[in-house]
Structure 1
Amino acid sequence: MIRTMTLRVPASAVAMALLLAACADGPASMRVAQRVPLVIAHRAGTGDAPENTLVAIRSALANHADAIWLTVQLSRDGVPVLYRPTDLAALTDAHGPVAAKTAAELAHVNAGWQFRSQDAWPYRRTPVGIPTLAEALAAIPADVPVMLDMKALPAAPQVAAVARVLDDADAWNRVLLYSTEAAYQQAFAAWPRARVFESRDATRGRLASVALAHTCEAPPPANAWTAFEWRRSIDLTERFTLGEAHSAVADAQLWSPQAVQCFRTNPNVHIVAIGVNNAADYQAAACAGVDDVLADSPRQMTPVRDALHREGWRCP
């Protein structure tokens, strides 16, 4: 997905600023990193098993992921279930929206139908259903943090249903709530125990200000949780009096040491880098100073974490 940020600066200067931000040594240069980022299993480990399933959760735990990230939608009967795309056909042997089926019907949909491993389809003969959020929380030890990514609108009915599950499971203290839709941050404000990531728009805007204007605009408040992709393609728009021009910047990296320093202006701000899936990016994220990385394959990334923790390293 491409995000558009409108900035009144020359396109060539924009591209250069992004490149310099990605390559800057900053305060991490030539120092020994003090802590390795924790590994969060993205969609319970979408690279290792059918995403958002109990099979994936068990795999992530067996591979010693530090936390589990799950994607939530509502079934037709108002039950929070784990599934990401808008259409069941994207991953399963069914079709249509999640909201068209009850939780009981979704339990019999094969969520592993499209999962491919080494040119094979291992779950077509051994189907795995779409679980409920309550089932997932019961399968995850209480000391393993859970991050819930809210999908689908409107937000209010899903927020109320998720809150009931968290009440019943007494799980508020181990769950964090995320969404790309600001409506979810607003809706969860009615539940004082809810721990919610700041809005994606706020995080993106602040990262752009550091990278392009070299300013730290309105850093997050103390104890905030923030998350944004480690790398992503960005379409930048330059506006003129008589029109506008677009400049695509591929593979931009916005989590620079300078950005992390800005985000840490206030105490206990937590930073999650989304989409860190190889050793080089993991070490670079560690050198930048992020707290956690969101990884598709805990099987591949937790050995990287353990090796760096055991052996140590120097930032370039």
Structure 2
Amino acid sequence: MTFKISAILISIFSMLSSCSESYDISKESFSTPMIIAHRGGKVDFPENTILSFEKALEAGVDAIEMDVQVSKDNIPVLYHPNNLNRWTNGTGKVEEYTLAELKKLNAAWNYDEENGYPYRKQPQEIPTLREALHAIPVNRLIMLDMKSLPAAVLVQSIAAVLEEYNAWERVVFYSTSEEHHEALKIWPKARMFETREITRKRLLEYKINGVFWEPGKPASWVGYELRRDFDINEVLTLGLGNPPITITLWDKMLVKSIKNESCSPKIVLMGINTGEDYERAAELGGDAVLTDAPFLLINERKAFLNKKAE
């Protein structure tokens, strides 16, 4: 029987984005992975709201990740899914409404059902990227996850704001879509993560075949989940078997190999929501973790540092 991982069947031929200087988040030297609040930390507060950003920063996170879409009048706003009814008291898509219309919605309308939707009495606006830049200190990195398409429209709207505020050095771009990466190439100031597809290929190639792919041009940021669910296609006489499997993708040797590339890219381990996983990320040598639960991880980092000091 032959086992095949569908993600590896595609030939590895793409080049990584050009190397650029890593962002100096602060003068502090991090002895443990930085904590990036994913969408501001949706476990603790309504995601992609100024409230979640401010509370995560008060707790002590090192960076904020947020999802960016564009309104009907080409204003970059912060919201994750493509349907407004997931979190708000509206319907349809972000791109179907002007900013003025979006501002009438409560971005936390459907948050925390178990506790009776507390933010229906404490409404939260869908924020703009401009508002986020004002709310987040300049010494805290902003990770922009680009969501809406077409990519050129979204990228142009983001670039206009970053130009206006001279804020390119404050942000690093991430997307699961190759289209966004292509659209950003006309902006030389833009610093991007390695594309998710390339990262996935290189991690699986290493994990499954034990081969470390040394690309021609290293990225300045590389990010992927600590572990990830995959479907394995098993070729059988009577057809295909398709059993799911969870793979832990990183180990110390892989992290070391990536960091040995010419500009030592920052490695962000995603989906880190427990103290155990935070310790694992630290042991692996990760530079940062992306978490939905920043309050928990801030406390876990303190405990981890105390344990190291004993």
Q: CA offset at residue 287 of structure 1?
A: 0.8
After TM superposition, the score normalised by the length of structure 1 is 0.85
1:256 aligns with 2:213: no
CA contact (8 A) 1:45 1:56 kept: yes
C-alpha RMSD of matched pairs (Å): 2.1
Give 2:31's aligned residue. Answer: 35
CA contact (8 A) 1:155 1:184 kept: yes
CA contact (8 A) 2:205 2:211 kept: yes
CA contact (8 A) 1:44 1:68 kept: yes
Shift in CA distance, 273/230, structure 1 to aligned 2, threshold 3 Å: same
Aligned length: 285
Give 1:237's aligned residue. Answer: 233
State the distance in 2 between where 1:311 and 1:221 align.
Answer: 38
Shift in CA distance, 6/137, structure 1 to aligned 2, threshold 3 Å: closer
1:5 aligns with 2:1: no
Q: Can you list the C-alpha shifts for 1:184-231, whole angstroms capped at 9, x where unaligned?
A: 111111001000111001100010011100110134744521111122
**Secondary structure at the residue paired with 1:311?**
helix
Aligned residue type for 1:279: G
Residues 54-133 of structure 1: pairs in structure 2 closer than 5 A: 54-116=50-112, 119-133=115-129
Q: CA offset at residue 177 of structure 1?
A: 0.3
State the distance in 2 between where 1:200 and 1:154 align.
Answer: 18
Give 1:207's aligned residue. Answer: 203
State the distance in 2 between where 1:177 and 1:164 align.
Answer: 15
State the distance in 2 between where 1:7 and 1:71 align.
Answer: 28
Q: CA offset at residue 75 of structure 1?
A: 0.5
Give 1:27's aligned residue. Answer: none
CA contact (8 A) 1:220 1:263 kept: no
Shift in CA distance, 265/247, structure 1 to aligned 2, threshold 3 Å: farther
Shift in CA distance, 241/203, structure 1 to aligned 2, threshold 3 Å: farther
CA contact (8 A) 2:193 2:219 kept: no
Q: Can you list the C-alpha shifts for 1:222-253, whole angstroms capped at 9, x where unaligned?
A: 45211111222111224579964423103x21
Aligned residue type for 1:66: D
Aligned residue type for 2:249: L
Shift in CA distance, 255/150, structure 1 to aligned 2, threshold 3 Å: same
Give 1:290's aligned residue. Answer: 286
Shift in CA distance, 308/120, structure 1 to aligned 2, threshold 3 Å: same
Shift in CA distance, 37/193, structure 1 to aligned 2, threshold 3 Å: same
Q: CA offset at residue 6 of structure 1?
A: 4.5
State the distance in 2 between where 1:38 and 1:133 align.
Answer: 23
State the distance in 1 between where 2:289 and 2:90 align.
Answer: 32
Indicate which of 123, 126, 139 corresponds to 2:135.
139
List alignment gaps of at least 5 residues for structure 2.
10-29
State the distance in 2 between where 1:177 and 1:297 align.
Answer: 21
State the distance in 1 between where 2:164 and 2:235 align.
Answer: 51
Give 2:185's aligned residue. Answer: 189
State the distance in 2 between where 1:243 and 1:279 align.
Answer: 42
Give 1:162's aligned residue. Answer: 158
Q: CA offset at residue 126 of structure 1?
A: 1.2
State the distance in 2 between where 1:176 and 1:285 align.
Answer: 21
Give 1:11's aligned residue. Answer: none
**Secondary structure at the residue paired with 1:255?**
coil
CA contact (8 A) 1:149 1:179 kept: yes
CA contact (8 A) 2:258 2:264 kept: no
State the distance in 2 between where 1:225 and 1:7 align.
Answer: 22
After TM superposition, the score normalised by the length of structure 2 is 0.86
Q: CA offset at residue 262 of structure 1?
A: 2.9
CA contact (8 A) 1:219 1:265 kept: no
